[in-house]
Amino acid sequence: MTMQNQQVEQFILDLHDASMFLSTQEFQQWTLKEIRRFIDFDFAIWGAGDGRHRQLHHATILDQVDTLFSTWEAVKHVDPFANLVIGNTGKTWTTDPLPDFKKSQAFREHWGLYRAQQMMSTMEVDQQTGLHIFVTLVRDQEKQRYNQHELALKNVITQHIFLAARHNDLHHLRSLRSPAAFMDRGGVLNAALPDFRALIVQEWGRRAEQKLPEEVNQALWRTGGFRARNIVLQAQQINNRLLVRAGIAPSVDLSAREHEVAWAYVSGHTHKEVAKLLGISPTTVRTHLARVYQKLEVTDKASLAFWLRENSMN
């Protein structure tokens, strides 16, 4: 066994060990830096998203600006390297099979701006979330091409990286000792404990086991909380995802008048219009709404509307 093979084996052992005690952000940053011991690169990207629609859900970027993907939006559907990697998951690719890559619009308007002269990327489809997950290494030197040994090495270690990342997520969630999950900006549950999934399925059915309803997703990112019929969700942003905890919602008893005021308000009427419609004063409308918001533990009109629609089905 060569010295490098021994080092790689040790790295894999250290990788799985680190997944048990580092936070998710620390783990990804540590892993990318460790890869540099075996494969030289200038910056790296570890991300996940919907490859078919070119929607990036979250990414950790090492040694490059956080706004890296802002210029990618305009060219993402005509990016030949993205087409190659997304269309051929499970393998490690460089830009070598694309001799005209540097003449492409994607290079001129995006990758070239960051001196991405050589790229190597491995992508897989996560069977649990359906997301395309990837690790991309980038060099800013034209002549320093990735060789076959580096391709084979990255292909092997990336499989362990993806597995260790899932263990890292689940270990962190279990340490909370409560129903919890990691959710990205697309509402996809990247990792979730069984008791969290059980509560979600009970509330919204199997359709929510992988992805929360869009209104719930938006409310959690906007306000950090959401109250449904039977559960309450609380969210805390950790790096580029939300840590979401679930609990049983205490019973809520809205009066008939509170229901009337709330429905009229979420239907698009102003406070004055609700007051005129129900024959009460605008001040009374505001008082009723304040009490409803407090009872339901919601903080915005969209969450209130969603709660009312969900509970109207009882």
pLDDT in tens, 115-136: 999 999 999 999 989 999 999 9
Run of H or E residues at 109: helix 105-109
Question: pTM, whole model, 2 decimals?
Answer: 0.81
Greater confidence (25 vs 218) lies with 218
Q: How far apart are CA 105 and CA 88, in angstroms?
A: 21
**pLDDT confidence bin for 196, thresholds 50/70/90:** very high
How far is Cα 199 from Cα 192, in angstroms, rounded to an integer? 11
pLDDT at 313 over 50: no
The domain 3-174 having CATH identifier 3.30.420.40: the answer here is no
Residue 233 has pLDDT above 60, yes or no: yes
How confident is the model over 162-183, as a mean pLDDT? 96
Topology of domain 256-311 in CATH is Arc Repressor Mutant, subunit A (1.10.10)
Q: Which H/E stretch holds residue 90?
A: none
Which DSSP state fits 227? E
With contact defined as beta carbons under 8 Å apart, do 131 and 188 qualify?
yes
Q: What is the pLDDT of residue 312?
A: 65
> Residue 299's Cα: distance from chain center in Å?
23
Q: Is the pLDDT of residue 55 over 70?
A: yes
- What's the residue count for the chain? 314
- 300 pLDDT band, cuts 50/70/90, is confident
DSSP codes joined into one string, 113-180: GGT--EEEEEEEE-TTT--EEEEEEEE--SS-PPPHHHHHHHHHHHHHHHHHHHHHHHHHHHHTTSSE
For the residues 168-193, what does the mean pLDDT come to? 96
- Residue 117 buriedness (CB in 10 A; 0-12 / 13-18 / 19+): buried
The per-residue pLDDT for range 11-36, each reduced to its tens digit, is 999 999 999 999 988 999 999 999 99
The rounded percent of the chain whose pLDDT value lies above 70 is 98
Would you say residue 144 has pLDDT above 90? no
Sequence spans of domains, the chain: 3-174, 176-248, 256-311
- Report the distance separating Cα 98 and Cα 81, nearest Å: 8
Cβ atoms of 215 and 300 closer than 8 Å: no
Is residue 106 predicted with pLDDT exceeding 80?
yes
Q: What is the pLDDT of residues 59-85, one digit of tens each?
A: 999 999 999 999 999 999 999 999 999
List all residues 6 or more positions away from 39 whose beta carbon is below 8 Å from its beta carbon.
120, 137, 146, 150, 153, 154
Largest pairwise CA distance in the chain? 86
Closest among 177, 173, 171, 202 to 189, alpha carbons compared: 173
Summary mean pLDDT of the chain: 92
Q: What angle do CA 199, 201, 202 make, to 5 degrees?
A: 65
**20-43 as b/e, with b when 16 or more CB fall inside 10 Å?**
eebebeebbbbbbeebeeebebbb
Residue written as token pair 């039977």: 230
Per-residue pLDDT band for 303 (boundaries 50, 70, 90) equals confident
